[in-house]
Structure 1
Amino acid sequence: MAGGAPRIFVSHLAGVPVFDPQGDPVGRVRDLVAMLRVGTMPPRLVGLVVEVASRRRIFLPMTRVTDIASGQIISTGVVNVRRFEQRPTERLIFGEMLDRRVRMVEDGAEVTVLDVAVQQLPARRDWEVAKVFVRRGGRGGALRRRKDAFTADWSDVTGFSLEEEGQGAENLVATFETLRPVELANVLHNLTEKRRAEVAAVLDDDRLADVLEELPDDDQVEILGKLEDERAADVLEAMDPDDAADLLSELPEDDKERLLALMQPRDAADVRRLLAYEERTAGGLMTTEPIVLRPDATVADALARVRVRDLSPALAAQVYVCRPPEDTPTGMYLGTIHFQRLLREPPFTMVGSVVDSDLPPLAPDTPLPAVTSHLAAYNMVSAAVVDAGGSLLGAVTVDDVLDHLLPDDWRETGFHGMEGATARGE
């Protein structure tokens, strides 16, 4: 759903079917999961509780929802079928917010929550609760007049949000909810080990994955080791495959294999492929999830893929054209197109006709110094990694190269010099 889209009242989503990108049914919406924040800040909508065919209820993150329209929801990517487990900072909108008695801030009048409206924030992938539809007075009673029901801003009612008093991990997470992952990583790095584990326990999987990617290796291993195995596998699935592989490579062999066995087969397969390469080579540095298009795709298709919010700037800078299959390892690699070239071509142009086939790809065993020279020589922020058979294996991005060129302790050094909010706890 595009940013700036109109508000959606959650009563319209009850029982709505959920489909995967191919149009196959996944299940039906049974609830929505909101994360409360301190004070009057509206809760962030983090995902949906979906009941699948086996009657198991699973969690579908909002980051994997691509469209809510016409009485259906479209998801993207592989759906994790593990049973949904609610976390301390989370509230179920149907189960815990609707029919709840709260009070108006202005006059203290008691109202009952009849419905809640959610909205996607402009130019961001985040969703939040925008409005509440309430009725004056408590539950039940005689038939009420129409004017007794009205829509209010979230900040106009009280009785939902976390209390600011105390230093529970839930409050700490809510306080720093707006921080970028690297800034929250700075906060966690400076907490005690006990406090760090408490905060990690209440972060949602996607948020914790983003933060782990910004932490030093020792902190990553420590935090992952304190999670239950199934949760640790979920977080590894949410990480970029190259970062997950780097983290797993720091673990004892038994622990690594146990977590890989718990991961979704497709995610585990990507990580295993990366673990097979030496760390400081193109194969060990690459991500297995670049933008891949068939030659008969159009420039409009390519630009739509580039606009996906979850992509890093380095991965969004260019697309790779390959024959089917499009998942890595792909069919025959044909070449690369930088997004600036895409902007100069008519939308209906097929990408196969504008591909740059002269830019040489990297072999998976290319050592780090040669990878660095390649990016510098061709003024690129990412480069294709292709095997001897001509299949695209992935792409090396400049940020991953920098991670391995900087001193081993660069994250700790950067944290000490980073300005902004930090927190210490016992």
Structure 2
Amino acid sequence: MARLPGTPVFDPVGDQIGRVRDLVAGLRPGRRPNVHGLVVEVQPRRRVFLPITRVRRIEAGAVVFSGRLNMRRFEQRASETLVVGELLDLSVRVGGEPVTVYDVAMEEVKPSTWEITKVAVYRRRRRDPRVVDWSEVSGFDVLQQDQGAAGLIAAFASMRAADVASALHHLPAKRRVEIARALEDDRLADVLEELPPDDQVGILGTLGPERAAHVLEEMGPDDAADLLHELPDEQATELLALMEPGEAAPVRRLLTYPEDSAGGVMTSEPVILPPSSTVAEALAQIRQQDLSPAVAAQVYVSRPPTETPTGTYLGVAHFQRLLREPPSTLLGAALDPSIDPIRPEFTLIEVTSYLANYNLVAAPVVDELGRLVGAVTVDDVLDHLLPEDWRERDDT
């Protein structure tokens, strides 16, 4: 069952309507749990319940159901357990021996009736996995203070950061903290960027100052600045002081701008090259996997230094133009002369109008000295124009 999260869900005519995020079961004393159904996430980030009686096939890469899907938002009942979110990583006992759960299996015992029949476990000190019958395991009904998170993190491994964030948001606070503590700093940073502000602040407060500072260093400077804006001034100052100076500097600059301005939402790390670089070098830069599509859509050209704030800003080269030019062409000859930069003090409405007028996904931000200080991307603008609780709205 740990392999199912992220699996596409298809309706009877073959259209994909969402992805599996978890499974719902009812634990029963002395009996094998019955599986009630699947939690399916449909766009826009709404979690709904798919009864197991509607499931017709579960195969590699697909879950197929029949009938109609009730689009009412899923709400977990007190008697229900989220299999992936709450059972994985539990410490239980098999024949009196302590073991840890890393997967469970369900079986169709009769038409449209599924039960959890097997449990995959390993010893705490020796990772020697084995599969046992549900009846051989005890301890699922015991509340555990420190459940661990290795199994759940493994289930999340292939999921996008936004989907992991959605899963975390819907888990109990205890599990959310356990998982956040177990994630690697860079992965946690990516997930934090996709969480609502309240969740960000809550998780960051459980990490301890040193680790919180390391996670902030892994976040994009604009996202780190947004998060620090949500913290009390004293805590934000402490975390900035603990960050590496080179990582803290761009965040400090972003904090000087109003939150609702171009300077307040821009990224300070766009792709920047000198005019003597070639088209081939520019294309190599925007191929980097960790760049978002909006950031990789253009290369900004300036005089050295090529880190913000740069030397004199010269212009922007769009990736479509780069694809049409010979690889040896110098960037200075591939600039778009029709695009003027915007100023850090532009309001979000002015930035939005600018992007819409010129059909752009990003725009250069230049200060009064003619230096490039960052770039505003369309996803930056959307994050700030949508309602503050847009990440939490799964029923609109």
Instruction: Give the structure-1-normalised TM-score.
Output: 0.59
Equivalence for 2:300: 320
Is 1:176 aligned to 2:159, yes or no? Answer: no
Alignment partner, residue 382 of structure 1 = 362
For 1:310, the equivalent position in structure 2 comes to 290
Aligned positions of 1:288-307 closer than 5 A: 288-307=268-287
C-alpha deviations, 1:383-420, integer Å up to 9, x for none? 00000000000000000101111111110004x57xxx
Which letter does structure 2 place at the counterpart of 1:341?
R
Secondary structure of the corresponding residue to residue 211 of structure 1: helix
Residue among 168, 178, 185 paired with 1:188? 168
Q: Which residue does 1:244 correspond to in 2?
A: 224
* SS across alignment from 2:294: helix
Runs (5+) with no aligned partner, structure 2: 4-88, 90-125, 132-136, 141-146
CA distance in structure 1 between the partners assigned to 2:155 and 2:274 by the alignment:
45
Give me the whole-angstrom Cα distance separating, in 1, the residues matched to 2:338 and 2:188.
40
Displacement, 1:191? Answer: 1.3
The equivalent of 1:278 in structure 2 is 258
Instruction: Work out the CA distance in 2 between the residues paired with 1:245 and 1:330.
Output: 20
What's the counterpart of residue 108 of structure 2? Answer: none
Q: CA deviation at 1:224?
A: 0.2
One-letter identity of the residue aligned with 1:325 = P
User: 1:363 Cα deviation (Å)?
Assistant: 0.3
Deviations 1:24-46 (A, max 9, x none): xxxxxxxxxxxxxx89xxxxxxx
RMSD: 1.9
2:314 corresponding residue in structure 1: 334
Distance 2:241 2:128 in 1: 39
SS class of match (2:195)? coil
Distance 2:339 2:158 in 1: 40
TM-aligned CA deviation for residue 160 of structure 1: 5.1
> Aligned residue for 1:214?
194
Letter in 2 for 1:404: H
C-alpha separation in 2, matches of 1:163 and 1:218: 40
Cα separation, 1, equivalents of 2:386 and 2:238: 31
Say how many residue pairs are matched: 261
1:399 alignment counterpart: 379
Matches of 2:282 and 2:292 in 1, distance apart? 15
Change (3 A) 1:261 1:353: same
343, 353, 360: which one aligns with 2:340: 360
- Distance in 1 between residues matched to 2:338 and 2:371, nearest whole Å: 16
Q: What is the CA distance between 1:168 and its match in structure 2?
A: 3.5
* Structure 1 stretches of 4+ moved >4 Å: 159-167
Between the aligned partners of 2:284 and 2:130, the Cα distance in structure 1 is 42
Partner AA of 2:228 in structure 1: L
SS in 2 for 1:297: coil
Which letter maps to 1:297?
Answer: S
Deviation string, structure 1 residues 68-119 (Cα, Å, up to 9, x no partner): xxxxxxxxxxxxxxxxxxxxx9xxxxxxxxxxxxxxxxxxxxxxxxxxxxxx
Q: Are the counterparts in 2 of residues 334 and 357 from structure 1 also a CA contact under 8 Å?
A: no
Residue in structure 1 matched with residue 238 of structure 2 by the alignment: 258
Q: 1:199 aligns with which of 173, 179, 195?
A: 179
| Counterpart Cα distance in 2 of 1:328 and 1:358 | 23
- The counterpart of 1:371, out of the listed 342, 351, 354, is 351
**Residue among 249, 257, 279 paired with 1:269:** 249
Q: Which residue of 2 aligns with 1:223?
A: 203
Contact kept? 1:189, 1:219, Cα under 8 Å: yes
Range with bigger deviation, 349-358 or 369-378: 349-358
Cα–Cα, structure 1 residues 161 and 242, in superposed 2: closer, same or farther, change >3 Å? farther
Aligned to 2:53: none
Q: CA deviation at 1:357?
A: 3.1
Letter of the structure 1 residue corresponding to residue 345 of structure 2: D
Change beyond 3 A, Cα 1:225–1:377: same
AA in 2 matched with 1:272:
R
- Cα distance in structure 1, aligned partners of 2:235 and 2:212: 11
Task: Find the aligned partners of 1:383 and 1:315 in 2 and give their Cα distance.
Answer: 10
| Structure 1 runs not aligned, ≥5 long | 1-37, 40-88, 90-158, 418-426
Partner Cα distance (1:175, 1:348) in 2: 45
Q: Distance in 2 between matches of 1:252 and 1:352?
A: 45
Letter in 2 for 1:317: A
Query: Which structure is larger by alpha-carbon Rg, 1 or 2?
Result: 2
TM (normalized to structure 2)? 0.63
